């Protein structure tokens, strides 16, 4: 096992381990190293031998996709992105960003996740693109994970409103994000109506250095697997 975790001075600012609404900066985020800039390839094994579904949560612009992509590189885990699935399935004139269409894309993502986890149980799958700011979405996700016998790991991304809105503005200018409805109105509506994420989860502040954020995520995954997770190819 090679633990990859944030430095002393940053760990308390980067992450908190939340269980049923409580938070701490305890053992899941120990401080002894930072993740290397090297992008390793390798394997993921868990003491529990469990299929693992890593679920990104957080409002638009909080950095979910950035974290998901970096974790994907390290864990060699596929990312199933709701918005990318929508863009692949529907012509531009058929994209409506409705609740029904969102649910359909998530259902497809979960079916693909179940297929992948059956074939390669030693590799996690990452689910991205939904905020999980509604309790009913969390409940449906947990039901689906139970049906596929998968361990669910929620990683919640947060940042200031100013930072989130700046990121959303940049995405609109560059056109890099597949979802074209992300903006101030959507962000503030989702923030105003959000339910708290009450299931066990890790919260990371994406205004901190990405290396520290990713290190906190890896340390949390290691903590959940009983401290015997192997990150093959990773460096201190």
- Has residue 163 been placed in a domain? yes
Strands 125-128 and 79-81: parallel
For the ranges 33-42, 120-129, 223-232, the lowest mean pLDDT is seen at 33-42
Are 155 and 202 in contact, with CB atoms under 8 Å apart?
yes
- Has residue 224 been placed in a domain? yes
Q: How far apart are CA 60 and CA 56, in angstroms?
A: 11
Domains in the chain, number: 1
- Has residue 134 been placed in a domain? yes
Specify the residue for token string 């531009």. 92
- pLDDT, residue 236, reads 29
Are 11 and 221 in contact, with CB atoms under 8 Å apart?
no
Q: What mean pLDDT value characterizes the chain? A: 79
pTM here is 0.78
Tell me the percentage of the chain whose pLDDT exceeds 90.
56
pLDDT band at 202 (very low <50, low <70, confident <90, very high): very high
Rg of the chain, C-alpha, whole Å: 17
The answer on pLDDT for 65 being more than 70 is yes
Number of helices (H) and strands (E), helices first, in the chain?
8, 9
- Has residue 16 been placed in a domain? yes
Report, as an integer, the average pLDDT of 45-59.
78
- pLDDT, residue 120, reads 87
pLDDT band at 178 (very low <50, low <70, confident <90, very high): low
- pLDDT, residue 112, reads 98
- Has residue 32 been placed in a domain? yes
- Has residue 1 been placed in a domain? no
- Has residue 2 been placed in a domain? no
- pLDDT, residue 97, reads 80
Output 151 or 177, whichever has higher pLDDT: 151
pLDDT band at 10 (very low <50, low <70, confident <90, very high): very low
Structural domain range at position 68: 8-231
Q: Kindly report the CA angle at 190 between 186 and 191, in degrees rounded to 5?
A: 115
125 backbone dihedrals φ, ψ, rounded to 5°: -120, 140
Closest CA to 1 of 195, 234, 214, 199: 234
Specify the residue for token string 């979405």. 137
Are 214 and 35 in contact, with CB atoms under 8 Å apart?
yes
The answer on pLDDT for 41 being more than 60 is no
Q: How far apart are CA 9 and CA 40, in angstroms?
A: 25
- pLDDT, residue 175, reads 58
The answer on pLDDT for 46 being more than 50 is no
Dihedral angle sign, alpha carbons of residues 97, 99, 100, 102: positive
- Has residue 14 been placed in a domain? yes
Are 30 and 3 in contact, with CB atoms under 8 Å apart?
yes
Which CATH number does the domain housing residue 129 bear? 3.40.50.300
DSSP H or E segment with residue 204:
strand 201-205
pLDDT band at 17 (very low <50, low <70, confident <90, very high): low
């Amino acid at each position: 096992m090679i633990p990859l975790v944030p430095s002393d001075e940053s760990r308390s600012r980067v992450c908190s381990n939340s269980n049923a609404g409580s938070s701490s900066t305890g053992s899941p985020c120990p401080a002894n190293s930072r993740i290397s800039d090297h992008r390793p390839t390798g394997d993921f094994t868990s003491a529990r031998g469990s299929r693992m579904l890593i679920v990104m949560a957080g409002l638009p612009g909080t950095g979910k996709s950035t974290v998901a992509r970096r974790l994907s590189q390290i864990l060699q885990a596929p990312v199933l992105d709701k918005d990318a699935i929508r863009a692949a399935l529907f012509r531009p004139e058929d994209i409506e960003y409705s609740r029904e269409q969102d649910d359909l894309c998530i259902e497809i993502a979960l079916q693909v996740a179940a297929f992948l986890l059956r074939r390669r149980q030693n590799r996690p799958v990452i689910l991205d693109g939904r905020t999980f700011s509604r309790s009913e979405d969390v409940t449906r996700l947990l039901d689906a994970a139970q049906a596929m016998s998968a361990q669910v790991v929620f990683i919640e991304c947060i940042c200031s409103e100013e930072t989130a809105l700046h990121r959303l503005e940049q995405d609109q200018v560059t056109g890099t994000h597949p979802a074209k409805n992300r903006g101030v109105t959507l962000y503030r509506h989702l923030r105003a109506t959000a339910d708290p994420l009450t299931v066990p989860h890790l919260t990371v502040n994406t205004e901190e250095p990405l290396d520290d954020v990713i290190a906190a995520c890896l340390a949390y995954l290691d903590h959940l697997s009983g401290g015997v997770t192997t990150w093959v190819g990773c460096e201190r």
